[in-house]
Structure 1
Amino acid sequence: MSVEIPASVLVNLTGRDTSSVVNLTTHPMHGGTGAATAAVARLTIQTRERDGRRLDELRVIRKTFRPLSSGRHRHGAREPSHWTYWKRELLAYGSGVLPAGPGLRAPRCYGVSGSTIYLEDVGDRPADVRTSARQLGAWQALAEPPNVAWLSGHQLSQRIEASDLDWSNVRSDNRVKCLWDARHDLLAELAEVAPVLSHGDFHQANLRAYGSDTATLDWGTLGLAPVGADLAHLALSTQRDLLAEYLSGLNGTFSAHVVVRAYRITLALVGSSRVHWMLNEGIDVPDGYVDFLWDNRPRPR
């Protein structure tokens, strides 16, 4: 049968240049993908050595990208500093800037071919979010932002700039609109916070337990963001207070007051915009979600 896997990827998968593919099965995967993702599939590959004596079965994730073509953020798909830039994950894996553990790590990359990337299959076992929060802090305490043109700028600021939310057409808790109405002042505060290297979509569905590491998926929004911003995404996906673990990982690298403030601001703005989106789409807001936002809101300085 004809198979679509580059020879260089096969060499990296097997560690040998003497293997050939005798069978390949494709299993499409759904959900948990970024704005630029066209398709994700798990490939099961059977290989044989040239002498015919060895048969291995391997798995790899094939992920293909394309520019976003619809929605209010589509204009940024070809702008390297915009959060929707479609080539960012390809470039990130090719550059070697992603974390490799111990602790937080990206799946190993076996090769990039055109608009397709071949990644280690890290399985489906959910990560422990408290461990992930601590490992996130440890990575951000030490990671130096690379000097490249394709890092995303502040994603939250870019999103809010393109978002004119109409609250008159949704039935929302007034507390949520109160948080959103403060967005300009809150964004001005965030602009004063030192940025760190940021995953940009650090939510529970993107985290896998892989030994003692947290394997982190979907690096298409890799960029710069205020310290604490990634933690806010994780907290919103779990409705759990993970500040103690995150601060432990940071180990005093940043002022705890600044971290907590930036975290709470990001939580309020991202969370309130998501509530609007859910209501506008007819999706039920999870129980306790608005209370979690309000209880963790940034108080006036």
Structure 2
Amino acid sequence: MERGGRPAVLKVATPPGRPGVPAHWETSTDPAHWNYWRREALAYGDGLAGSVYAGIRAPSLVDYEEHGDGSVALWLEYVDGQPGTAATPAMLGDFAERLGAAHAVWRGRSTSEPWLSRDWLRAYTTSRPVSEPIPWDHPVAVAAWPDDLRAGLRELWARRHEVLRATDALPHTLCHHDVWPMNLVFDGSGPVLLDWSFVGPGPMGEDAANLVLDTFFDGLVDVALLDDVAEVVTSAYARGDAAVHRAIRLTGAAKYFWLAPMMLNRVAAGPAPISQSYDAREAAAMFAGRRRPLELLLSWFREALA
């Protein structure tokens, strides 16, 4: 697609009420909501997306159009480069170093834009569709996850509010809130960060934690790279600061305490797919494939609250 004589990507933001959207992904008209429907358009419109992080850019805004039905069309630069799913650990480490430096600049600073998300981590995680009782001993889970892993994930779920309270005490910065390989492209200018729908204040470490874990949860990157990616991303982001290392571990636990319970709910409900996003694996393969990143998540939880 072209716009203004150059390749462009069209994104259309629509008000809440679009048919077929699951309740836990519904957008909101509240500017502070974790999923405010106009946020990305505003982030591009006032230039925040393109200037907030030195050393990391966003696609440039090619054109912007308000439609009569209330929707907003964004034409964004088509970034021709290497997708994040094909990035090497060294490339992800370079990005994490840049992100850590940018977050350090924003550390402790307040932001005045009323459309930035507020308390995003708590609002997002507590809105995930998990119902009790959780079938921790479902046969698919028993086959894929050892007893100690299931017991640890059960403890993480039970202590989720304690984990979230602990993140409240962390230093805050200006987070992207959706840093993962599908939102990264590497071109000649360096890393390009896509999708600014969730941007807002949040705890240090959250974006780095998500980059490590969500690189592997959906099976889009070989899990054999997990240890290398975890080491290089956390080291590059924290730059020797033990408190920031702990923040990465704690926010990782806070971001994904719901994942195993939701997987168990869905496999027990059958026969619908376990994942409603990018992971197309059948249940047994998904449970097995997520074992190692869940083990890392559990180790982070235990270290952060030791």
TM-score category by the smaller chain?
A: 0.7 to 0.9
- The answer to which structure, 1 or 2, has the higher relative contact order (CA under 8 A, 6+ apart) is 2
Tell me the distance in 1 between the aligned counterparts of 2:8 and 2:27.
Answer: 30
CA contact (8 A) 1:268 1:298 kept: no
**Partner residue in 2 for 1:272:** 257
Q: Cα distance, 1:158 vs. partner?
A: 0.6
The percent of aligned pairs where both chains have the same amino acid is 27
Which region of structure 1 is more displaced relative to structure 2, 146-155 or 77-86? 146-155
**Are the structure 2 counterparts of residues 134 and 68 from structure 1 closer, same or farther at C-alpha, using a change threshold of 3 Å?**
farther
Pairing of 1:1-301 with structure 2 (within 5 A): 43-44=1-2, 58-69=6-17, 70-73=21-24, 77-100=28-51, 103-114=55-66, 115-127=72-84, 128-143=91-106, 146-163=111-128, 164-166=130-132, 168-169=134-135, 171=138, 172=141, 173-238=150-215, 239=226, 240-241=229-230, 242-248=233-239, 256-279=241-264, 280=266, 281-282=273-274, 283=283, 284-285=286-287, 286=289, 287-299=291-303, 300-301=305-306
Q: Is the 8 A contact 1:103 1:212 kept in 2?
A: no
Taking a change above 3 Å as real, the CA distance of residues 134 and 167 of structure 1, as seen in their structure-2 partners, is: farther
Letter of the aligned partner of 1:117 in structure 2?
Answer: L
Give structure 2 stretches of 5+ with no counterpart: 67-71, 85-90, 142-149, 216-225, 267-272, 275-282
Q: Which protein has the larger Cα radius of gyration, Structure 1 or Structure 2?
A: 1
More helix by share: 2
How many angstroms apart in 2 are the aligned matches of 1:246 and 1:234? 11
- Structure 1's unaligned 5+ residue stretches are 1-42, 48-57
Distance 2:114 2:251 in 1: 24
Q: How many residues were matched structurally?
A: 243
Aligned mates of 1:67, 1:124 — CA distance in 2: 32
CA contact (8 A) 1:72 1:162 kept: no
Aligned-residue Cα RMSD (Å) equals: 2.4
Letter in 2 for 1:82: H
Q: Equivalents in 2 of 1:122, 1:207: separation in Å? A: 10
- Structure 1 residue matching 2:10: 3-state secondary structure: strand
Q: Give the structure with the higher percent strand.
A: 1
Contact map agreement 2:93 2:236 (CA 8 A) in 1: yes
User: Is the contact made by 2:2 and 2:8 (CA closer than 8 Å) also made in structure 1?
Assistant: yes
Equivalent residues of 1:107, 1:122 under 8 A apart: yes
For normalisation by structure 1, the TM-score amounts to: 0.73
In the TM superposition, residue 152 of structure 1 has moved relative to its aligned partner by: 0.4
Structure 1 residue runs of 4+, over 6 Å off?
none
TM-score where L is the length of structure 2:
0.71
In the TM superposition, what whole-angstrom CA distance separates every residue of 1:199-243 from its partner, at most 9, and x where no partner exists? Answer: 010011111002242100100000111000011110112343121
1:176-212 per-residue CA deviation (whole Å, 9 max, x = no partner) reads: 1211211111111111122110001001111100224
